[in-house]
Homo-oligomer: A and B are copies of this chain.
Amino acid sequence: MPILRIEMHPGKTLEQKRELASGITRVFVETLACPPEVVEIVFNEIEKDAWAVGGKLKSDT
């Protein structure tokens, strides 16, 4: 049932994405007592020149 969309910078290894996916899913299973199959996660990689905080692109800071 839960759908997660995660925006983060690129550069994560496949192993880190595996750990994020399994770790986050386990948090849902433990907290909501739901089966793991209902947890769906989509990663969206955003470059530093496409992300701004405080009015400045991260690639400029």
Binding site for B on A (CB under 8 A): 1-9, 12, 14, 16-28, 30-32, 36-37, 39-46, 49-57, 59-60
> Given A7-B3, A24-B24, A42-B7, are A17 and B57 neighbors across the interface (CB < 8 Å)?
yes
- What are 8 A-B residue pairs whose CB atoms fall within 8 Å in the complex? A2-B7, A14-B59, A16-B32, A20-B32, A23-B31, A25-B54, A42-B51, A45-B50
What's the number of copies of this chain in the assembled complex?
A: 6
Given contacts A17-B50, A25-B52, A49-B17, contact A42 B3 (CB under 8 A): yes
Contacting A25 at CB < 8 Å: which of B7, B8, B16, B55? B55
Residues of B within 8 A of A6 (CB): 2-4
